[in-house]
Structures are given as structure tokens and as C-alpha cells.
Amino acid sequence: MSSGNLAREEQKLAYKLLIPAFLILITIAVYPLGQVFYTSFTDKTFATGREASFIGLENYKTLLSVTIKELPPVVDENTGEQKIGEDGQPVFERPIRVLPRRPELYRPVFEFSFFSNRFVVGAINPDFLTAVWNTIIFTVFSVFFETLIGLGIALVVNSEFKGRGAMRAVMLVPWAVITVVSARMWEWMFEPTRTGFFNMIFERMGVGDGNFSFLTTTELQLPSLIAVDVWKTTPFMALLILAGLQLIPNELYEAARVDGANKVKQFFSITLPLLKPSLAVALVFRTLDALRVFDIFQVLLSQKRYSMASYNYFQLIQARKMGLASAVGVIIFIVIFIFAVTYIKMLGVDTDE
């Protein structure tokens, strides 16, 4: 057989092997995904007989429009100087007086100072922009900690010791607790009184008076959620990394030991490089899940603070803005795509030769 023939055979086999996956994909994915893309360009209302009309990029414009306006200082009429507030800070005009109202109402997202001038960033849809921000912060921190702790656990479990089998089962427990229930479980531990575990233990340790409101205090919300997610999904990371570790041939370590490389050196010269592909895949799926995070935001923060997906959910179910919700879906899609491609390129695990 000529090599060209062989290559053609290989190619044919590859396509044949891909048939089942693509068949499934065509049956269940093409229509729903296509529908989301299409709907995102319309003003469709969910569950209504009214005809939807095509509105182009209007939904995207609503979601992403941002403006920056300077806040003029408030002048004291008696002195002609800028007013000083009770807190000793100079007083500026309220954003509501400055931000445009027509054709769309812009609401403040945040304010910042620059050379003693005060600016406000406004958006038509501040909830969505903060949802994007929340989700990205959530993703970066939770994926970082999950990878770190997951790697640590995997390395520990990968060594020989008694009770390793039981340990592997223990590892799975957080991941196995049904997601909707685990969110409720944590909500219960976060109760703002001493019926909640954290308030009880903090108070006992002399921190606070048992009245921390973890889920309504702005500074505590995201850290609490990140803690929940890290607990819940570290096992996912650990198991994938563990499986990757087990594929590394022992001979490599033996050879390194003969060469006198210590454990740390072995880790950086053998383990980490060889772990790259499995780590990359684990990271891709973790990040993808974190960017779509829904359950814990819905249960723990509901409408106090949104993730992209929970914003999407409430827009669809409560406001029934299916067009807008689809546009949110597409934006999530794009963000995830960017993350996925970046990982693959950064970690250099492109499978194309």
C-alpha cells in the first residue's frame, strides 16, 4: 500500500468515527442553537402569540451600550466654591441629572475620579454589565483555586498510601451532592443568624456577633459563592488531573531519580509538562462551567446579584424577553469561545499537526 493510500484510509476512518458524535449534534444541537442565534436578532416575547419582528442588533446594543459623562461639581451659592459634603468630600452632581435619558435611559454603573474630576460610567443595562463583571471575577478566582487545590489533592492521592481507595471516594462527595441541594445546604450554613454554621463558629471564635449577612453584604457575596464553588468542583479538577498523572509513565520518574533530580525538579520538568494536555482540557471545561454558572447564583443570590446565566434566566422567565435573553446567551457563547481558544493556544496543546 502506498503511503498516500494509507493516509486516505486513515482520513476515511476518522470521518467514520466522527459520524456518531455529529449525528447526535445534528439531532439535538443544531436547531436549538440556531434558534438562539436567530431569536437574538428579534424582539420575541416568550410564550405569547404576538409575532416577533426582526430588529437587527438592537438587543446587543441595549445590553452593551456604555457612556462616560463628567459629573459637574455642585457649587455653593453663597461662597461660589464647590460644596463640601458632610463626610468632608467635595460634592458632585448626582449621576441621574447628568446621564442621558433619551432615546434610552442610562443608569450609573460606577463612578471614578480622574485629576480631581469626577466621572460616571452609565449603561442602558447596568445589571447585565455587572453580571458580566461578577461572572468573570467569579470564574477567575474559583477556577484558580480549584486548579491549585485540585492539583494539590491529586498529587497527594497519586502517591502510595493506605486507604487510597477510600480517599478517592471521599474526593467525589462534594461533586456528587446534587447541585440544587448543595446550594440550599450552603445557603443554610450562611444563614444571617446563629442558626447558620458560619455565624455560629465565627461568633464562638470571637469574630463578629453572629450577625454576618454573607449573602446580602456586597463585599461578602462573591467570596461566599466562590467558596461554595471551590468546594463543590475541586473534585472535578482533582480527578481529571489524577487521571492525567496516572498516564505519566513511571520510568520517566525513575530515570530522573537516577539523574539525581529532586522531587521539586521532577515536578517542573516531568509532571507539569506532561500534564499540560489534561490540565488544559480540565481548565477549558471548568472555565466553561464557571462562566455559565447558574444554580448557586440563582439559589444563593437570586435577584440580588446576577451571573450572566442567572440574568439570562430571569430575563427569560420573569421578563419574558426571549430576544434579549438569547442575545445574552450569544454573548456568553462568545466569551466562552474566547476563553477556550486562548487556553488552547496558551498551553500549546493544539492537536493539529
Partner 1 sequence: MSRESADLIKKTLFYLVLLVIVFYLLFPFYWAVNSSLKTEPQLSMTPATFVPRDPETGNLDFHFGNYKQVFSDAQFMRGLVNSTIVATCTTFLALLAGSFAAFALGKLRFKGKQPSLYIILAMTMFPQVTVLTGLYAVINTLNMGARLSMIITYLLFTLPFTTWVLTSFFSELPIEIMQSAQVDGATPFQTFRMILLPLTAPALVTTGLLSFIQAWNEYLFALTFTAIDVKARTVPVAIQLFSGEFARQEPFGAIMAAAVIVTIPIVVLVLVFQKKIVAGLTAGAVKG
Partner 2 sequence: MRKSLVLALLLSMILVVSGSVFAEKAEITIAGGSVGQELELTKEAAQMYMEEHPDVKVNVLDTPDLATDRLGLYLQFLEAESPKVDVYQVDVIWPGDLAEHFLDLYNYGAKDMVDDHFQAIVENNTVDGRLVAMPWFTDAGLLYYRQDLLDKYGYDVPQTWQEFERTAKAIQEGERAAGNQDFYGYVWQGDAYEGLTCNALEFIYSNGGGTIVSPDKKITINNEKAIEAIDMASDWVGYISPPGVTGLAEESARKIWEAGNAAFMRNWPYAYPLGNVEGSAIKGKYDVAPLPAGDSGKSAATLGGWNLAVSKYSEHPEVAADFALFMAGPKVQKLRAVKGSFNPTIKSLYQDEEVLEASPFFGSLYEVFTNAVARPSTATAPRYNEVSRLFFQAVHSVLTDEMEARTAIEYLELDLVDLLGYEIGEPRQP
Residues between 49 and 108 that touch partner 1 (CB under 8 A): none
Given the rule CB under 8 A, which of 70-78, 152-160, 289-297, 302-310 is the region that contacts partner 2? 302-310
Q: Which of 110, 197, 267, 343 binds partner 1 (CB under 8 A)?
A: 197
342-351, Cβ contacts within 8 angstroms, sequence gap of 24 or more = 343/280, 343/283, 343/284, 343/287, 344/280, 344/284, 347/276, 347/277, 347/279, 347/280, 347/283, 348/276, 349/276, 349/277, 349/280
Hey, which residues between 168 and 207 contact partner 2 (CB under 8 A)? 191-195
Element (H, E) at 223: helix 218-246
Residue 195 in the binding site for partner 1 (CB under 8 A): yes
Note whether 301 binds partner 1 by CB under 8 A: no
Q: Which stretch binds partner 1 (CB under 8 A): 58-66, 77-85, 103-111, 245-253?
A: 245-253
* Site pattern 110..139 for partner 1 (x: CB under 8 A): ------------------------------
Please report whether residue 147 would count as binding partner 1 according to CB under 8 A. no
When binding is defined by CB under 8 A, the residue of 247, 272, 319, 346 that contacts partner 1 is: 247
Cα distance between residue 77 and residue 140, in whole Å? 49
d(CA 214, CA 225): 9
Smaller CB distance to partner 1: residue 98 or 324?
324
For residue 48, report the phi and psi dihedrals to the nearest 5 degrees. Answer: -150, 155
Using CB under 8 A as the binding rule, whether residue 320 contacts partner 2 is answered as yes
Give the length of the chain. Answer: 353
8-state DSSP, 153: H
Report DSSP letters for 98-152, one per residue: HS--SSS--EEEEEEEETTEEEEEEES-HHHHHHHHHHHHHHHHHHHHHHHHHHH
Q: How far is the CB of 304 from partner 2 (least distance, A)?
A: 5
Report in angstroms how near the CB of residue 161 gets to partner 1 at its nearest: 7
**Count of residues that interact with partner 2, criterion CB under 8 A:** 33
The residue within the footprint of partner 2, chosen from 18, 24, 26, 48 (CB under 8 A), is 48
Q: Which set of grid coordinates corresponds to residue 248? A: 505519566
Give residues in contact with partner 2 (CB under 8 A): 45-49, 94, 96, 101, 104-105, 107, 191-195, 209-213, 215-216, 218, 302-304, 314, 316-320
